[in-house]
Structure 1
């Protein structure tokens, strides 16, 4: 059984609903969610002039290969209204494969571990919450260490499901 860490993000529409639907479809099409982080509200990264995001990391156990998982997650993005207009632009949903077991994978369409994990506080905060001791297979550091050394200073705020949030 493969262990896959996945980052969910959304900054358009009903963001809580988008995350809930993404988790539902992941369970139906990819595998069982073993753990899920708190939801975080985060500033946009890369292209900062856009609405803030809601982000969450989930750990899934799955029989799918990494490429099969990628194909499923990209189809879920399409089903939830993802339109790729510009890199790091606003989106209804974004589903990124962060880690796949402890494998290092380089395909033209997929790089694992995700190449920007150590640069993004919005990824590391929820990742360190549910897998603090998981060792990055390239950097040989755990997620907490990566978070402590992250240079990204954009705000990342933990929110609860019942807390009001901005659209």
Structure 2
């Protein structure tokens, strides 16, 4: 556990393209928020996007969740992986179809490079399905450690193939 017991703002990317993806994402958001060490701040609207990698799979449903957490980064990763496993996540093919994918996008303003975890998420700046939902819930002046402002990243990443789901 985070020994200082300070709450840290973090952003989690959520995605699914199997077994009712909309419900997979919404259920995962509820499960994250149910942890005693995580407090939900906001959940972005849901978006559909084309898959990255193999194209012989369904489109994805994506969202971003802003949380406050007392969990250290690796503990938060373990919590995310536990929820993925509860949803039947199987890791067979890189960028393959999946019931649930939870990625820690940002953890405060920290830059972390560990064998199992890199923050900011290394693909964050190139993924419209992450940047646009992030922009829906993040402060307008959000800066991504080592990458620049969210506003400049959005300008460099067109929203082609990204569609907001109307609730």
- TM-score normalised by length of structure 2: 0.91
The CA deviation string for residues 6-47 of structure 1, in whole angstroms up to 9 with x for no partner, is: 000000011121112101110122511101111001111122
Deviation at 1:120, TM superposition (A): 0.7
Over the residues paired in the alignment, what is the CA RMSD in angstroms? Answer: 1.3
Q: How many residues align?
A: 159
2:23 maps to what in 1?
17
2:143 maps to what in 1?
135
Deviation at 1:154, TM superposition (A): 4.3
Q: Is the contact between residue 43 and residue 154 of structure 1 (CA under 8 Å) also seen in structure 2? A: no
SS in 1 for 2:102: strand
Distance across 1 between alignment mates of 2:159 and 2:143: 23
| Structure 1 runs of 4+ with >6 Å offset | none
2:81 maps to what in 1?
74
1:165 maps to what in 2?
none
Distance across 2 between alignment mates of 1:88 and 1:44: 8
List runs of 5+ in structure 2 lacking aligned partners: 1-6
Matched, 1:51 2:67: no
Deviation at 1:61, TM superposition (A): 0.4
Deviation at 1:159, TM superposition (A): 1.0
Deviation at 1:114, TM superposition (A): 0.1
The CA deviation string for residues 107-165 of structure 1, in whole angstroms up to 9 with x for no partner, is: 100000000011111111101111142101112x2212101112x6640001122xxxx
Counterparts of 1:1-167 in structure 2 under 5 Å? 1-29=7-35, 30-131=37-138, 132-139=140-147, 141-150=148-157, 154-161=160-167
SS in 2 for 1:6: strand
